Structure 1
Amino acid sequence: MNKFTCAVLLLLISGLQGCLVFAGAEPPRLQSLAELEEQPAVARALNIHGWKSPAGGKVLFIRTPELPMFDLHVSFPAGSALDGRHPGLAAATFSLLNEGVPGKDLAAITETFDGLGAKYDMNIDQDQVSFSLRSLAVSENSDPALQLFTQILGEPLLTNSALGHVKKELAAIIKNQQQDPEAQSAHAMNDLLMPGHPYAQPVFGTETSVAAITRDQVQAFHRQAYTAADAQITLVGDLTMEQAQAMSVQVFAALPPGSRQVPVPPVARHPGDAPSRHIERSLNQTHILLGQLGVSRQHADYVALTVGHQIFGGQKLSSRLMTQLREKRGLTYTVQLKTTLRKGGGTAIIQLKTSPQFSDGVVKLVQSMYRDYLQTGPTQEELDDALRHLRSTAALTSASNAQILGRLVNINQFDLPLDLDFSVEQAQGLTVEQVKAAMNRHFDPEQWSVVTVGPTVEQQPLPLPISDAAQRMCRAEPEIVAS
């Protein structure tokens, strides 16, 4: 069976799983989309199994037998926070891993995975590096795919010629980020919120620091950071417990035992006024970030803060920021308050783009809205809607292996209780006063650091809000219509 036949079979199986057959009667029909909100979404019963290797590495596994495939995710705390005096060292080591293993270069590695119908991916951030493999579960596909996957982790060649190639790639990434207003603003915000902390360094280093990285440094970094002691394995798919355990043993065996890395120091809060920064760029829109330090994922207030900020700045059109800035004033297409989680602490970042002549007014409006929000807290209706949305989302995000894997990786990384719905259930008992109190404990309306990237222009008053925003999303005059 070739990879194309396998792909067709997977599509057919997936399609059949999504079909409901109604015998002897017409299928029920929805009279209103509101009926979907009224029906409780039911999550799949998914049991989490966990164990550790003798070296200390951790494994979490969920069996999902519906499709003959599996997803394997392996991570190490080997992100850019470990760079120290050599910014870009973690990224260079990470990028070299799939450049060559014994008997195969990058092209051969890619060709092998493609020939097996397997998908391989890798990612790096400040805290960690991660590698994922998706494969059919039958041994003729999974065995060679897993063998190559473990070679990438444990037996990379890390040659000088490949390092030269990687340095050029990193230099190109760095140059692109220097021209990307979103990357510029994000790096500036990290620098304002976490000055002097490893998280404030760019993940891919600088052109100067990358050029100075040597093969000896890369080899030493790989030996120290890619160990069985620090490996976290997450598995989801059509595997028995014995097969999952055997896979984890194979991954651990490919790595040196090593010892646990020293944890990244927590981010310290700096007293005084929140700093701001403007980056002058000739752009059609000004990119705006407002940021504050948040809490760690393990903090007792994390869930309450997540719910409170979802109401204020979530992706739904009904969030307070979207209602006021987009629906009523037409100042932006989208605005969102995002929480970034790191081992050393989290951040809360409000992100949007607007016309340059309104940038100052938008910042003041957002700050004023958050000040009012802290004083009043969410309404009971807003809280009920947010909790209902959380329940529905939890059920929907347990539909595929990839979605389950993402949630399980989060549990693995942050040492959370072995229950996919733990946070959702914890949120259901929240009250308006608890959400309000949690936000006031950790956030200050006067402590938003602000980063703007765009042109300096004369500022204009913000447009007044319209009253019928729910009915009119277009700000054009009534006589201006499409023909």
Structure 2
Amino acid sequence: MKNFLCYSLIINLILNMSVSEASIKIHTYVTKNNVKVFYVVSPSIPMIDIQIMFDAGSSKDGNYNGLSSMTHIMLDEGTSKHTNEEINYVFESTGSIFNASSSKDKSKISLRSLVDEEFLNPSIKMLKDILSKASFPSEALKLHKERSMAFIEESSKDPAEIAINTFYQSLYNKHPYANPTEGTKKSVGKITRNQLIDFYKKNLTRENAIIAIVSPFDLPDIKKITDDISSSMNSYADEKKTNKHKSNLLDAAEQKHIYKKFPSSQAHIYIGQLGIKRGDKRNLPLYIANYIFGGSGFNSRLMNEVRVKRGFAYSVYSYFYPLQDLGPFFIGVETKADQANDVTQLINNMIKEYIEEGPTKKEVDYAKNAIINGFPLKLDSNADILSYISMIGYYDLPEDYLTTFIHNISEVTHKDIVDAMNSVLKPEKLLTVVVGNEKSKIKK
């Protein structure tokens, strides 16, 4: 008994220490070029992590799906001063890591470097060159288009990819979120060098940027670095551009079932609907609600009913994916083709019951404690902290989001959760997508 009490005391001390360590101070300021910066001092590691976010994700592709993705893939292929080989040499010889990518809403350019001047200065100099003078060589573009189209072609033979792409296309229809970030084989094939240059000059600009940094440097040193980086960015003033989407999304009028035939023994199933925007006041209640329903692995209702009790699937999960516009809520599962009908019926019944009855007090208490105690582990590296402050900056979340997260979770009530679920989730309007052989076709 004494050993158990000692063990419990140690665990509580560790958890309390971890929670206090989650109190991360975010410094914010604006550079001389009017770029907002979010900065966290992390003295434990002699590394600097820089991430520049642009409001330039695939939702800004316009009529050229895959344009943002291809622009970012091509950034380090050359500048007006340096070849791809020279760029790679600088980053490799200094041990730095450069990355660029695009998602639905935003794109990002990141650099990780040692803080010693002999490593950091050449890396920053090359980053600035890429931000201001990327050249998008024609030969490299041809190669990357071929690679991208080959990847898309390969994905078109993967039932899981077919299912998720069909889900997004059906849910979002003519909205930009309907399109895959990498584009389609047809759209990528039509991308030209001039389109990349135009997208780069109009979207990867200081007016469109937010910088997030985690490093051991003091604030004055970081201000010098960010002023230097922001001054190198291109400038483009678009009077028509707004920072937020004007949403034209509407809930489905009724339930919709889509079946796509594919010669696979497994049925790939997605069930869901439109969810919420990032920053919605219902986010935390829905986060807890989803944790209970399908977001906590073996502790979730979905896993217990679908896998543990019935053995229908190895894995089943659900989550909300808030975006700048209404992001999706969806449930994903793979099962034997001849079980697809039973699985979808079970999940639909579970959603309806969950919304009507709500979670139990025991489930809510367990979920809140698990989320609170697990939160410090989500901030145990510079990369984790950088990811959070990037999200806070881009989506204009409260600057005290991290320091108040635990308190805000603890304040969520059972009523908050039930009200949030009832205002967002509509079982009678769920979209169901099934990809598999004839046996997996849903009986309506």
Q: Do the structures match in fold with TM over 0.5?
A: yes
Aligned to 2:290: 309
Deviation of 1:150 after TM superposition, in Å, equals 2.1
Structure 2 counterparts to residues 394-473 of structure 1, below 5 A: 394-419=375-400, 420-457=402-439
**What are the Cα deviations for residues 242-271 of structure 1, in whole angstroms up to 9, with x where unaligned?**
121122112211112223643333251144
Q: Secondary structure at the match of 2:348?
A: helix
Structure 2 CA distance for partners of 1:410 and 1:34, relative to 1, 3 Å = farther
1:269 aligns with 2:250: yes
Deviates more, 1:246-255 or 1:305-314: 246-255
Q: Is the 8 A contact 2:372 2:409 kept in 1?
A: no
1:185 aligns with 2:163: yes
Structure 2 counterparts to residues 259-408 of structure 1, below 5 A: 259=237, 261-262=241-242, 263-408=244-389
- CA distance in 1 between counterparts of 2:164 and 2:98 reads 28
Q: Secondary structure at the match of 2:427?
A: coil
Deviation of 1:48 after TM superposition, in Å, equals 0.6
Runs of 4+ in 1 over 6 A off after TM superposition: 28-35, 458-461
Deviation of 1:458 after TM superposition, in Å, equals 7.2
TM-score (norm 1): 0.85
Aligned to 1:50: 28
- CA distance in 2 between counterparts of 1:328 and 1:399 reads 35
Higher helix share: 2
Deviation of 1:356 after TM superposition, in Å, equals 0.8
Q: Secondary structure at the match of 1:375?
A: helix
The residue identity in structure 2 corresponding to 1:114 is: E
Q: Is the 8 A contact 1:74 1:233 kept in 2?
A: yes
- CA distance in 2 between counterparts of 1:106 and 1:185 reads 37
**What are the Cα deviations for residues 393-426 of structure 1, in whole angstroms up to 9, with x where unaligned?**
2211222111111111111121111121333321
Q: Secondary structure at the match of 2:270?
A: strand
Deviation of 1:142 after TM superposition, in Å, equals 0.8
1:253 is aligned, of 206, 226, 231, to 231
**What are the Cα deviations for residues 78-114 of structure 1, in whole angstroms up to 9, with x where unaligned?**
1111121222222222221111124433333223212
Deviation of 1:183 after TM superposition, in Å, equals 2.0
* Gap runs ≥5 in structure 2: none
Deviates more, 1:201-210 or 1:399-408: 201-210
The residue identity in structure 2 corresponding to 1:173 is: F
Structure 2 CA distance for partners of 1:308 and 1:343, relative to 1, 3 Å = same
Deviation of 1:132 after TM superposition, in Å, equals 1.3
Aligned length: 434
Deviates more, 1:31-40 or 1:357-366: 31-40
1:138 is aligned, of 101, 105, 116, to 116
Q: Is the 8 A contact 2:434 2:440 kept in 1?
A: no
Q: Is the 8 A contact 1:377 1:433 kept in 2?
A: no
- CA distance in 1 between counterparts of 2:368 and 2:386 reads 23
- CA distance in 2 between counterparts of 1:212 and 1:290 reads 33
Aligned to 1:243: 221
Q: Is the 8 A contact 1:121 1:131 kept in 2?
A: yes
1:156 aligns with 2:134: yes
**What are the Cα deviations for residues 418-470 of structure 1, in whole angstroms up to 9, with x where unaligned?**
12133332121111122011100111112210111111127899xxxxxxxxx
Structure 2 CA distance for partners of 1:32 and 1:321, relative to 1, 3 Å = farther
Q: Secondary structure at the match of 1:296?
A: coil
Deviation of 1:217 after TM superposition, in Å, equals 1.7
Q: Secondary structure at the match of 1:341?
A: coil
2:87 is aligned, of 82, 104, 109, to 109
Q: Secondary structure at the match of 1:415?
A: coil
- CA distance in 2 between counterparts of 1:301 and 1:267 reads 20
Deviation of 1:348 after TM superposition, in Å, equals 0.6
Q: Is the 8 A contact 1:43 1:396 kept in 2?
A: no
TM-score (norm 2): 0.92
Q: Secondary structure at the match of 1:232?
A: strand
Deviation of 1:55 after TM superposition, in Å, equals 4.6
The residue identity in structure 2 corresponding to 1:42 is: V
Deviation of 1:389 after TM superposition, in Å, equals 1.2
Aligned to 1:70: 48
Deviates more, 1:425-434 or 1:302-311: 425-434
Q: Is the 8 A contact 1:305 1:435 kept in 2?
A: yes
1:86 is aligned, of 64, 74, 93, to 64
Structure label with greater radius of gyration = 1
Task: Please tell me the root mean square deviation across aligned C-alpha atoms, in Å.
Answer: 2.3
Structure 2 CA distance for partners of 1:291 and 1:35, relative to 1, 3 Å = farther
